[in-house]
Amino acid sequence: MTTAAGRRGQVGRRSARRTGSRCCQRRAGPRHGTMSRGDLPRRDAGVDPMLRRLAALALLPALILASPGAARAERDPLEPVNRRIHGFNEQVRARVLGPLAEAWRDWTPPGLRQGVANALGTLSEPVSAASGLAAGEFGIAWNAAARFGINATLGWGGVRDRAAEMGYPPRPFTLADALCAWRLPSGPYLVLPLLGPSTLRDAGGLAAQGAALSQLVGSDAFLAWSTTDSVIGYAGLHETLARVAAESLDPYAVLRSAYLQRRAAACPVDRAAPEEDAPDQ
C-alpha cells in the first residue's frame, strides 16, 4: 500500500520530467524550424538588391546632365566675357527679338513666311558658290550656282524653291566653312553680340564675308539683307532658345556645347581636335 508521502514523490518526479521536456523543446526550437528574432524578415527584404542598383544607375545620367559642369567639356578661356555678352543677348532676346518673332509668326501666314525664307536663301547662294570654290568643294559650288539660277528664274525670284524640286537641295556654305576646309583651327569659343555662339575662326570668316559683300552690293543693301536674314532665322529658333533658357540650369553652357558639337560634326579639323576640359578656378 502506497503511503501519501510516496504518492507526492511520484507526482513531483512526473512534473519535473514534463517541465524539463518543455525546456529542452524551447532550447531546441531554432534547430527544429521555430522562428527566432534573427530570422524575422527585414522591412526591405522584398526589394531586390539588383533593382536598387539599376534604379541608382538610371538616376546617374540625370544627375550628371543636371549639373552645370557637365556641359563644360570644352576649353573656354574667355568664359567671363562670353557670359556677360550672353546675358546681354538674353535681354535683347526677351525684350526685342522674342516679341518680333512671335508677331511674325502670329500675324503672317505660313506661305508668306516660307516664301520670304526661300528668297533670303536664294540671295545667299552666291556666297555658298564663292566659298565652295575657295574651299575646293566644286560640288557645293555647282549646286549653289544651279540653285541661284533656277530659283531666280523659275522660282519667281527665289520665293519658290524650284531648285530643290529639281534635285538641287540647299547646301549652305560660308567663308567660315572654307577656313575649316583649309584646316584652320577654330580657336577659343566666342559669344558675339546679337549673333550669339561662334569661335575665333568663324567670327573672322563672318567679318571678312560681310566686308566683301558690303563692297559688292553696298553697305545699305548688305545691312538690310543681313538684318532681315538674321531676324527671320531667329524666328525659327525662338521657341527652342526660350525653352533652353527656361529649363536649363546653365543655358550658356548648353548653347556652347550644342554649337561646338554641331561645328565638330561639320568640320573635320574640329572633330579631330582633342577635347580638353576647362580648368576649374
Structure confidence by residue, pLDDT tens digits, 12-36: 455 445 444 444 444 444 444 444 4
Domain count for the chain: 1
Establish if 43 belongs to a structural domain. Answer: no
**pLDDT for 258:** 94
Give the pLDDT band of residue 262 (cuts 50, 70, 90): very high
Q: Is residue 59 part of a domain?
A: no
pLDDT for res 58: 37
The answer to whether position 145 is within a domain reads yes
Please report whether residue 131 resides in a domain: yes
How many angstroms separate the CA atoms of 24 and 32, rounded?
Answer: 12
Q: How confident is the model at residue 157 (pLDDT cuts 50, 70, 90)?
A: confident
pLDDT of residue 273: 59
Nearest to 224 by CA among 234, 211, 214: 214
Full residue range of the structural domain in which residue 254 is found? 71-272
Confirm if 261 and 199 have CB atoms less than 8 A apart.
Answer: no
pLDDT of 156 > 60? The answer is yes
- Alpha-carbon gap, residue 99 to 95, rounded angstroms: 7
Amino acid, res. 4? A
60 inside domain = no
DSSP state of 1: -
Tell me whether residue 51 is in a domain: no
Other beta carbons within 10 Å of 248: 16
Average pLDDT value for the chain: 79
Q: How many CB atoms lie within 10 A of CB 203?
A: 16
Note the pLDDT of residue 192.
97
- Contact indicator for 270, 260 with CB cutoff of 8 Å: yes
Cα separation, 63 vs 220, in Å, equals 50
In a domain, residue 260? The reply is yes
- Residue 186: closest CA among 173, 198, 174, 195: 198
DSSP H or E stretch at residue 259: helix 251-266
Q: Where do runs of H (alpha helix) occur along 34-161?
A: 49-66, 79-92, 98-107, 110-123, 125-135, 138-153
In a domain, 47, yes or no: no
* CB 126, CB 132: distance < 8 Å: no
0.75 cut: is pTM over it?
A: no
**pLDDT for 161-183, tens place per residue?**
999 999 999 999 999 999 999 99
Whether the pLDDT of residue 127 is over 90: the answer is yes
